[in-house]
Chain A
């Protein structure tokens, strides 16, 4: 091979690398802009609207004290929490769907959210403080994870169907426990518990842990994304192509559960984000996990930031649990997509 030829082939490969990268970077850039806009909308809209010029003034350090308090102290933590929770749920859903090779898997369906809810409600009933409620929700999510994967593993190997069925059954078990806790709970605590069950961002004050988790895990899981593409072809084929299947499967499951636990601890159990967002993205962007995972984080975050804005403005001054909005948006969207896909 001559030097010229070599140059040409390396130039070609660089070009293709860029083309491949552009295929990923362009949609992500668009989604990032969309996500930034949605967070801006979330901090601007409310009982006292903040216009674009005023918002800019606040961001650059000027602006009226009222606006500063509103945006930076009240709305921004909630909007960023919504973004982080939405991103965590959507990315966790995308991961579980690849892991189970089933587009119906998501933290809600698999009972992880239910376990977290039981943990939180139990702590609330016991009259324990907010920190214990969070910790208990976290423990519930992890317990549910271990339960589902332990039982589904049984004496043989994981099959996606058995895993999904086990998750569904465990989830309905949590559902019964939740109903029980609600039935024996004192009446004055019921509204708070119900809000928590439907997902509520009203008490989300510190977005940083969830945001750091989201960013950290995206960075951690991205190098694994091509292995996940291979894993989607089945574990035997993946092993034959050099993927350490066991390691990848366990890491994905642990990571997805952690993400769910943090999300549920921050905002209660919010359904449909983990199911609908990855599914919609796959219809538009294909099924390359290197693109879908960060895209799900951005789109899920943006969706939940907007949904939470709706939740606190639709019937203002009353607030709706954000889970109502995601379900009301998610159910018809999902049914429509299912209907159209055949």
Chain B
């Protein structure tokens, strides 16, 4: 079964050729990572998958049905999005902010129930934020706000996670905590789909990878088949050195000037 899939999906990025249409299948229990240089369209892909942007071609499937056929509120009960950028125009406490994640479950006249509040508190505890419940979000650090955003998505109790750089601004301990949380979510039968900057986080926690090139080319598949130095070097235009530490592959930039240039790569290798 596929919780989130695409059929011949081409993102609508102005002045960019169609490139390779994406046929992705995210199954329950899988963690997908999207790697690519700046401007490759990672965030656009995430927004397209969330139904917040129209694709140029193809379609997105949620639980086997066309995403476009769902009502927005029904989508929000299935699928949580953690954005990279957030707006906190008006003052709100941490608990109020996380309670917003319950919005898709409430009818217009409903007030949040004790269950909703319990779910929100539980989400705060899982993100190590229980002590900050009454604080104003505007007084928090960048990393704490990132955790509030993830807690909001937890409170949404989604069956699919879409997260744009979920480890942004986080210290090492919380980076690991967030990736462990996402792994636990996957083990509980949910689909997880992440944009990542850090190859090493992807190598350690993702079981499937999508490499997105700036010209629209792409390839995807099981992580161990994608984590090939040559492919990654082409992706970032940066020579890499690989090592194995603590049972995981680690990629670091190789010394010297950058000489490798991004080349196109044809087709997907499923």
Cβ–Cβ contact A241 & B156, under 8 A: yes
Q: Tell me, in angstroms, the Cα distance from A267 to B50 when the chains sit together.
A: 47
Q: A234-B87, A240-B52 are in contact. Are A17 and B111 (CB under 8 A)?
A: yes
Contact B100 A230 (CB under 8 A): yes
- Answer yes or no: A212 CB below 8 A from chain B CBs: no
Alpha-carbon gap, A293 to B75, bound state (A): 28
* CB-CB under 8 A for A102 and B103, given A13-B113, A237-B83: no
Residues 53 to 95 of chain B near chain A (Cβ within 8 Å): 71-77, 79-81, 83, 86-93
Asked whether, in the complex, the Cβ of A16 is within 8 Å of the Cβ of B76, the reply is: no
Q: Is the CB of A241 within 8 A of B101?
A: yes
Q: Which of A115-123, A186-194, A253-261, A280-288 contacts B (4 or more CB under 8 A)?
A: A280-288
B104 interface residue per 8 A CB criterion: yes
Query: How far is B132's CA from A126's CA once the two chains are assembled, in angstroms?
Result: 62
- Is B115 in contact with A13, judged by CB distance below 8 angstroms? yes
Contacts of A223 in B (CB 8 A): 108-109
Answer whether residue B112 sits at the interface, using C-beta atoms and an 8 A cutoff. yes
**A16 and B91: CB pair below 8 A?**
no
| Chain B contacts for A102, CB-based, 8 A | 89
Please measure, in the bound complex, the distance between the C-alpha atom of A244 and the C-alpha atom of B103, giving whole angstroms.
12
Which residues 1-32 of A sit at the B interface, judged by CB distance below 8 A?
Answer: 9, 12-13, 15-17, 20-21, 24
Q: Is B179 an interface residue (CB 8 A)?
A: no
Residues 169-185 of A, flagged 1 when their CB comes within 8 A of B and 0 if not, give: 00000000000000000
Contacts of B89 in A (CB 8 A): 101-103, 232, 234
Interface of chain A residues 89 through 105 with chain B (CB within 8 A): 98, 101-103
Interface of A is mostly: helix
How long is the Cα–Cα vector from A98 to B74 in the complex, in angstroms?
24
Instruction: Say whether A229 faces chain B, with CB atoms less than 8 Å apart.
Output: yes
A239 within 8 A of B: yes
Whether, in the assembled complex, B96 has its beta carbon less than 8 Å from a beta carbon of chain A, the answer is yes
| Complex: A301 Cα to B230 Cα, angstroms | 70
Per-residue contact bits, chain B 108-150, to A (CB 8 Å; 1 contact, 0 not)? 1111111101000000000000000000000000000000000
User: Does B106 count as interface, using CB distance less than 8 angstroms?
Assistant: yes
Interface string of A200-244 (1 = CB under 8 A from B): 000000000000000000000011101101101110110111111
Residues of B within 8 A of A244 (CB): 72
Of all chain A residues, the one with the shortest Cβ separation from B105 is A242
Are A240 and B76 interface neighbours, CB within 8 A?
yes
Tell me which of A13, A230, A232, A233 contacts B114 (CB under 8 A): A13
Contact: B83 with A236, CB < 8 Å?
yes
Query: Residue on A with the closest CB to B99?
Result: A229
Cα distance A122–B77 in the bound complex, in angstroms: 53
User: Residues of B contacting A233 with CB < 8 Å?
Assistant: 86-88, 97, 100
Q: Does B47 contact A (CB under 8 A)?
A: yes
Interchain residue pairs A-B with the least CB separation, the first 9: A242-B76, A223-B108, A242-B73, A16-B114, A101-B89, A234-B87, A13-B114, A242-B104, A240-B81
Q: A229-B103, A239-B72, A242-B73 are in contact. List 9 more A-B contacts (CB 8 A).
A: A98-B90, A226-B106, A234-B87, A239-B52, A240-B81, A242-B72, A243-B103, A282-B90, A288-B96
